Amino acid sequence: MFTRESPSRGAGSPHVLGFWDKPTGSCQYLVWDEATKQAALIDVVQEFDPRAAVSRHHAAAWALEQISARGLTLAWILDTHPHADHLMASAWLRARTGVPNGIGERVIDIARLWEGLYHLPGAFDPAADFDHLFADGQTFALGDLPVRVMLHSGHTLGSVSYVVGDAAFVHDTFMQPDVGTSRADFPGGNSSELYDSLMSVLSLPDETRVFVGHDYGTKDRDDPEWESTVAQQRAANAHVGGGISRADFRALRDARDATLPLPERILHALQVNLRAGRMPEPEADGNVYLKIPTNVFTDKFKDPTA
């Protein structure tokens, strides 16, 4: 497991353990309050092989081992949005620990959108699969640390960030400064809304630690990274650093997105993640089946031989 730690800076500052899923480039987080040892898990991956349609919970099990070994108490299971590139482990963690899980309240809008794309009316009930559907601006506590929820749409209709003391978990908005920003071309995505979300992150104090949702390395570095600061993003982000305008950002982002194929797992993932990572119910033969729409995203077909 590739990990990096970001120690607490003192009162009002969480300790953060980041761990990385290589197949999807996903950054996952164990966050805790040093004073009370209360912990949260954010965006934990349920591993999935799309070729064999086999899933596992190795990262989630490893995270629970870390919680036990470090003398922590898990208080929250959090996701920032229904991920398109990996299956979430929220339901598995909730079932094994009894700890409440949460996501942004606009997951309901995302569910209605994808019900249509899958032709599965009424298939998703986020209010049943998540204990908390957080509103923009809502606050709660992680031990003695305040947590604020910020609606940061653009990548999806209802993505949220969690600001835990001096640490912001900003999911698929920013990437590392040397990479830029995340795509905004999924159903319900919008590059103008993403620009607003990016500016909202940049309105946080300069010293705020920014933890992103993905990193894939670059030609100049092999190892993944996922931490920066608001000041670093404002000054050096490859897409918005130095004060780029909304129009210029949208032109850049939309042109880039037009070249990108859909993530390999997206059609598997959304129908699972809109159930908090829970698979559909087994059918009469005892097996679980996923539903994959065909010829819906023809504009995203990229011929690797062309």
91: helix, strand or coil: helix
Contacts of 42 by beta carbon, 8 Å cutoff, 6+ apart: 28, 29, 30, 31, 78, 79, 80, 162, 169
In 3-state terms the chain splits into helix, strand, coil percentages (rounded to 5) of 25, 25, 50
Both structure tokens of 46: 């349920």
Both structure tokens of 199: 């500016």
Question: Which CATH number belongs to the domain containing residue 41 in this structure?
Answer: 3.60.15.10
- pLDDT for position 300: 85
**CA torsion through residues 241, 245, 250, 255, sign:** negative
- pLDDT for position 147: 98
pLDDT digits (tens, 9 = 90+) for 209-248: 999 999 998 989 989 999 999 999 999 999 999 999 999 9
Report H helices in 105-243. 107-118, 126-129, 191-202, 230-236
Low-confidence ranges of the chain (pLDDT < 50): none
Please give the single-letter amino acid code of residue 19. F
- pLDDT for position 89: 98
Residue 280 lies in a domain: yes
Minimal CA–CA distance to 79: which of 182, 16, 169?
Answer: 169
- pLDDT for position 261: 93
- pLDDT for position 306: 61
Residue 305 lies in a domain: no
Residue 306 lies in a domain: no
For residue 110, give Cα distances in angstroms to 34, 37, 104, 280. Answer: 35, 34, 10, 18
pLDDT digits (tens, 9 = 90+) for 109-136: 999 999 999 999 999 999 999 999 999 9
Minimal CA–CA distance to 106: which of 79, 70, 133, 130?
Answer: 133
Domain encompassing residue 253: 2-300
- pLDDT for position 195: 98
- pLDDT for position 179: 97
Please give the single-letter amino acid code of residue 26. S
CA distance 5 to 40: 15
**CA 236 to chain CA centroid, nearest Å:** 23
Minimal CA–CA distance to 44: which of 34, 29, 22?
Answer: 29
Our count of domains for the chain comes to: 1
For residue 223, give Cα distances in angstroms to 2, 3, 27, 213, 263. Answer: 9, 10, 12, 15, 21
- pLDDT for position 210: 98
- pLDDT for position 302: 74
8 A C-beta contact, residue 36 and residue 53: no
- pLDDT for position 52: 97
